[in-house]
Structure 1
Amino acid sequence: MKKEELQNEEAKEEETVKAEEASEEKESTGGEKSEETESGEEPEMLKKKKKKDKMEEKIEELEDRVKRQMAEFDNFRKRTEKEKSHMYEVGARDVIEKILPVVDNFERGLASVPEDQKENPVIVGMDKIYNQLMTTLTDLGVEPIEAVGEEFDPNYHNAVMHVEDEELGENVVAEEFQKGYMYKDTVIRHSMVKVAN
């Protein structure tokens, strides 16, 4: 009987040892699985992070490109407006230059009318047309250049004659032969003048 008891105890011990080994094995395999899971998650998270970084980089690149395009378009718009304004001014100057001889002829014609005919309806009509033309030119930004009594300035006056006149100071405009005009800040035509020495 003792022999049987001993065998039973040995069998129980063996089973206990096997059970312990099995539980240890399970723990170790479970641990490995968890390690694998963790190490498996890491690369996936790294992949997601890299993907996110690439997307953010791409977004920044696209935002930068959009900003540059907007700045380029804004510069283009400003340049176009400037060119358009410049072309308008050049065109206006050309037209005004062609109108000035007509203004000169009006002035010469009205200046040559005798005093007794100034009330003539035709002359009065011509004077009104001349005044309307001058008002229109003024509204466009055309102004006559002041000359007589002013100091000679080569930027505005074109000296065609010199005269000795003690009453006038040196380099003072004594007489104006043809009126000069400015359009905004640009001289369209210089005044033709006689200058005192």
Structure 2
Amino acid sequence: MSKKKEAPHEDEVQEATETAPKMNAEESEATEQEEAIEKLQQELAEQKEKFIRLLAEFDNYKRRTAKERLDIIKTAGQDIINDLLPVLDDVERADQVITKATDIDALKQGLELITEKLRHVTVQKGLKAMEAQGLPFDAETMEAVTELDAGKEMKGKVVDVIEKGYTLNDKIIRYSKVVVGK
């Protein structure tokens, strides 16, 4: 009887020893999976943190560049205004002198000097007057205000310039307003 009792006991021991490595292998595999999951979760958290920092940096960059653009726009005209201030001073002085002036030629000469000074400043900044008088009408650079009966030689050409056109650094900023011959 003792052999019979020992035999089942040996079977149980043998089963236990066979299942123990299986259990250890399963537990080991589960532990590895948990470690892998933890590692991936940690990497995900790091990537989220990097993303949030990058997003904050980008928002700061956008705010900073928007502020810089506004500053540039606010001060863009400062350069031209500084150059025009001496002309304005001359115009104000001329205005004071006009009321007391008796010499018309001196007034004309003063006005010519102021006009030349103003032209010089605008040319330095890239402003150019567009020629139109006597040229064939060009819809790309001119605006026809009206048509006027003119001789055959002036048909389709500019008879009169009502308002000069201007370019600033080769870009049209005002079209010439003209009268075209028909």
| TM-score under structure 2 length normalisation | 0.53
Alignment map for 1:1-197 (pairs within 5 Å):
33-61=20-48, 117=105, 120=106, 123=109, 125-154=110-139, 155-168=141-154, 170-183=155-168, 185-188=171-174, 190-197=175-182
Quote how far apart the aligned CAs of 1:46 are.
0.7
Q: 1:40 to 1:77 in 2, by over 3 A?
A: same
The one-letter amino acid paired with 2:29 is E
Aligned-residue sequence identity (percent) comes to: 16
CA RMSD of aligned residues (A): 4.6
Quote how far apart the aligned CAs of 1:28 are.
6.9
- Partners of 1:122 and 1:160 in 2: CA distance: 33
Q: Secondary structure at the match of 2:156?
A: coil
Retained in 1: the 8 A contact 2:143–2:176?
yes
| TM-score under structure 1 length normalisation | 0.50
- Partners of 1:60 and 1:79 in 2: CA distance: 28
User: Unpaired runs of 5+ in structure 2?
Assistant: 82-87, 89-104
Larger radius of gyration: 1
Q: 1:187 to 1:52 in 2, by over 3 A?
A: same
Q: 1:165 to 1:75 in 2, by over 3 A?
A: farther
1:59-81 deviation per Cα after TM superposition (whole angstroms, max 9, x unaligned): 45555566666667767777777
How many aligned residue pairs are there? Answer: 150
User: Unpaired runs of 5+ in structure 1?
Assistant: 1-13, 96-101, 103-116
- Partners of 2:167 and 2:49 in 1: CA distance: 51
Quote how far apart the aligned CAs of 1:134 are.
1.5
- Partners of 1:173 and 1:88 in 2: CA distance: 39
- Partners of 1:183 and 1:88 in 2: CA distance: 18
- Partners of 2:75 and 2:130 in 1: CA distance: 22
